Amino acid sequence: MGKNFEKKSWVLKHHHPVFGQISFISVRFKICGDLGTKMFGWLWAEADVSVVKSREVTKWRCHKPSSIQQFRNTIFTMSTDIMELLSSPQMTTVCAPMVRYSKLAFRTLVRQHNCDICFTPMILADSFLQSAKARNNEFTTNIQDEPLITQFAANNPDDLANAAELVAPYCNGVDLNCGCPQRWAIKDGYGVNLLDKPHLVRDMVIQVRNRISNPFTVSVKIRLLNDIKKSVHLCQILERAGISFLTIHARTPTMQKEPIQLENLNLIRDSIQIPIIANGDVKSLDDAKLLAEQSKCQGVMVGNGILTNPALFSGAKTTPFICIQQWLNITDIIPTNFTTVHHHLVFMLEKILPRKKRLLFNNLSNMEEVRLFVASHYNMQPLSFPSSELKPIICDYSNILQQNSESHHSYHLKNYTINKYKDCHNSDSNNKETINWQQPFANLFDITSC
């Protein structure tokens, strides 16, 4: 068998009867030798082909095969360059980091409806480093979950850089949260507390950038300060530090549902050269297009709007019924707890169900009741089909943890004593205003404020 391979790849679209429009990578190797040229079909249909995510865009890794079957079992590594997406003339669409909600199952859903980039929920970097439980609960992904940016809350360079190294093989970039306005975050030195510490934020960015090379992205999500000159100064410092792009929620930390400060967003836009993703006050695709046009930002991020309508970026005015069917299918494959499945359906059905039925649905207490309700009202139930690409992959952090332990400090993997992780990520304990499901409309502010 010849030793030289000619590698070619391209992305095509396929309309799946359940998941709708999906992109797949087709791969062909031209083998120089007596095996000739062999075409291997769609990776999603090949049960014996393994795909491993990597931050390297052009990196391919293959084992020399001794047979066609072994060749089909080759491991391919390929990924997406986020900066190429943001340099496109088209608006880049982004799903916001939402505590408890922008997890793997929901990311899988919105990717079927024209969402280009997804963020994980905000993860506490120190807990992620010290606790295997935190790592397993807070970060899950699969081979179709890209482009993916992992957002961390951190208050020192080492924690952010070490956490970034752990997730780097499984995502396309990391983001530092400088926008969470909740009291617990401010008290512990996270979120908007960092807006007044530009040199600390700069040092955190530089530390990650020094350890992980391009095309892996390092970004920051901020809110605006009352003194816009300070916000401009912060963004210019971050640009010089080598940040890949910025996400700007164009409200101050004390603002909630007030209109965004478009003029101040544009002022920052004109002060720096790096790409900006605009965030705030987007409830429809038309809103997103208008914000992109008015701000001249490269991308638009949506939180509340996409939570109540996962098909927002496809132009749907309300949640289409196909989203409900897809959500049932996805959560039947990707392990998802009842509370998450139920809450997402509450949001999706908010503008579909009449008031009395919403109140009834909001107070269902188990998965069986939810599935019975959906089946009786919409004649829907989870559909079974081959799903190896949707199942979460196993993330192996052991080598990096060992290296970090030797180079920096020891992480206590077995003694899980991080109270902040329990307080901030269990149930709804980090919501200062507990969501009242007795009401037909949920209070979403604390869910997406980060």
Residues designated as active site: 180
- Rounded CA-CA distance 177/254 in Å is 16
Q: Which residue has the tokens 């066609």?
A: 68
Q: Which amino acid is at 351?
A: K
Helix intervals (H) in 379-418: 398-407
Cβ burial, residue 386 (10 Å; 0-12/13-18/19+): exposed
- Rounded CA-CA distance 220/2 in Å is 47
Cis bond leading into 147, ω under 30°?
yes
The CA-to-CA distance between both ends of the chain, in Å, stands at: 54
Contacts for 100 with CB less than 8 Å, ≥ 6 apart? 121, 340, 343, 425, 428, 447
Give the H or E element holding residue 295: helix 285-295
Radius of gyration of the chain (CA): 22
